[in-house]
Structure 1
Amino acid sequence: MLHAPKQEKALLLNAAHLLVPKAAEEGGFHGPSILEFFPEIVLFEGTPFALNRIMLIRLLMVALLVAIFWIGTSRMKIVPGRFQTLIEMGLNFVRVNIAEDLLGKKDGQRFLPLITTIFFMVLFMNITGIIPGLNIAGTSVIGVPLVLAVAAYVAFIYAGVKKHPGSFFRNALFPPGVPPFLYLIVTPIEFISTFVIRPITLTLRLMMNMVVGHLLLVLFFAATQFFFFDTSGAFKLFGVGTLVFGFAFTLFEVLIAVLQAYIFALLTAVYIQLALAEEH
């Protein structure tokens, strides 16, 4: 009997065969597939440490991120060089424009390590979607977005309970000033919107942006290859159009990678700010 992951993969393969055009089976155009987000295991198959291509990309980006900041901050000088200046610009951007701007200097410094980690983790994981040889974002599968959303959610709860230990949950679920009979309606809505929807939307917003971006890039560049090498005559001109669109969407994906990192870190700070608000 097949293990659950193998059964899941078999179902995905069957679904993909139903959706793939006949031309693709005959060596023609091969469009993007959801199976690209479920690559084969390449290391330690059959163990709890099994790694596929996306997991290797994540580990590579974490190692690169640690190395960059270790090197950039280990021998800091009063007159910084170019590399140190770049590191300081990135750190100051998060500190000034996200953490301290929303939380103030004191609370901004308290939560700065978390917000900075989230920003650069998301940025580095996102940008792999356009790096040749990697070609897929580390955030395009739910694991990393979910872990970061849980970290933001735990920080939100921690900040609220720490600042308002006796009233955080009460005021979040039973807002002051609401007639008591309306709590039957308001409390379930507040519970779902505050304690359920927030981590889900943080996760899905990031993941789906990366999934859609990857599928679009694969579509354009696969179409370019098809028109240039598998068609003849005037049809080759369509390849020029798909190549231009592919290049344009690559630049757009760079913008999306940075924007999603900013939005994720910003929303984390916003949720912490709401937890620290005096009305709690």
Structure 2
Amino acid sequence: MTPLTLPAADNSSTFTPPGLESLHLPAILPWGADEGFTKQMLLVLLSVFFIAWFFIAASRKQQLVPGKLQFLGEQLYGFVRNSIGKDVIGGRDFMAFVPLLFALFFFLLLNNIYGAIPLFQLPTMSHVGGAYFLAGLVYVIWIGVGLKRFGIRYLKLAVVPSGVPWFIMPIVVPIEIISNFIVRPMTHSLRLFATMLAGHLVVALAGSGIAFLIAQENVLVKGISVLVLVFAIAMYMLEALIMVLQAYVFTLLTAIYIQGAVAADAH
């Protein structure tokens, strides 16, 4: 698709709004025509380092009366453990899955919030590969949990709801198969990817629009840039909120899927 071009201030060149290439930057260390070590990869590795460093530092000096860092670490851990793991999966089975939920939430939180941090300014989940990988990992885990607990019978429990009349089953079962095994992993990944990409692209477009308007000779047009700036700040704050919410939603859905697999015979 040809990018939209607008006349620049001096009418000698064109203004090209930001596109996907503005988010998916060239490889830092290329090793092929379209491959290499990218900024997304670097940020993912840094996120693992930052998360590990923080929680190791928070738990290093464990005290009965916690210091500020230990208190913050305990509160963050407790939020995932209790508000997501225990409340969703249930008090009997949740502890086995707390490490997964904990790692998912903070990994996504930091990789999303990169987009609101100056210099980093790139949510790594705006690249669909990361979202696909995490959703695929969760997909394998919750199916594996169901198979481990119920054996091959789990496949029947997952698609044959209890209490449904037999004559409706030919309609319900295909819907359940498509919903649970096809639509669920697709929406799990695309929800995360689409919100990260769209939000960051809107902010990038607003920033480029401000630069374009300021470069114009017309004073009125320059003044409009102030309104665009207000809009950009509002979108920036909204995007930051969505970054946190999407980390929570992805982890919450993971807990819901696992709970469904653990208690499949109760459905």
User: What's the TM-score, normalizing by structure 1?
Assistant: 0.86
CA distance in 1, matches of 2:69, 2:235: 29
Residue in structure 2 matching 1:186, options 161, 172, 185: 172
Residue in structure 2 matching 1:157, options 111, 130, 143: 143
TM-aligned CA distance change 1:163 to 1:61, over 3 Å: same
Instruction: Measure how far apart 1:192 and its partner are.
Output: 1.0
Instruction: Measure how far apart 1:162 and its partner are.
Output: 2.5
Match of 1:8 in 2: none
Instruction: Measure how far apart 1:137 and its partner are.
Output: 0.5
Q: How does 1:103-114 map to 2 (within 5 A)?
A: 103-114=89-100
Q: After superposition, give the CA deviation of every residue in 1:25-74 in whole Å (9 maximum; x if it has no partner).
A: 95454322022243211114239982122222222222212221222223
Q: How does 1:121-270 map to 2 (within 5 A)?
A: 121-270=107-256
Question: Partner letter of residue 172 of structure 2?
Answer: V
Aligned length: 264
Q: After superposition, give the CA deviation of every residue in 1:195-226 in whole Å (9 maximum; x if it has no partner).
A: 11111101000000001101110111111112
Q: Which moved more, 1:83-92 or 1:164-173?
A: 164-173
CA distance in 1, matches of 2:12, 2:150: 65
3-state SS of paired residue (1:139): helix
Match of 1:3 in 2: none
Q: After superposition, give the CA deviation of every residue in 1:237-260 in whole Å (9 maximum; x if it has no partner).
A: 111111111111111111101110
User: What's the TM-score, normalizing by structure 2?
Assistant: 0.90
User: Which ranges in structure 2 are unaligned for 5 or more consecutive residues?
Assistant: none
Q: Which moved more, 1:221-230 or 1:46-55?
A: 46-55
Instruction: Measure how far apart 1:194 and its partner are.
Output: 0.5
Question: Partner letter of residue 21 of structure 1?
Answer: T
Match of 1:86 in 2: 72
Question: Partner letter of residue 46 of structure 2?
Answer: L
Give percent identity, aligned residues only: 36
Match of 1:10 in 2: none
Instruction: Answer yes or no: is the 8 Å Cα contact 2:5–2:14 preserved in 1.
Output: no
Match of 2:4 in 1: 20
CA distance in 2, matches of 1:73, 1:52: 32
User: Which ranges in structure 1 are unaligned for 5 or more consecutive residues?
Assistant: 1-14
Instruction: Answer yes or no: is the 8 Å Cα contact 1:29–1:223 preserved in 2.
Output: no
Match of 2:266 in 1: 279
3-state SS of paired residue (1:124): helix
Q: Which moved more, 1:24-33 or 1:244-253?
A: 24-33
Instruction: Measure how far apart 1:151 and its partner are.
Output: 2.1
Question: Partner letter of residue 89 of structure 2?
Answer: L
CA distance in 2, matches of 1:22, 1:231: 15
Question: Partner letter of residue 154 of structure 2?
Answer: F
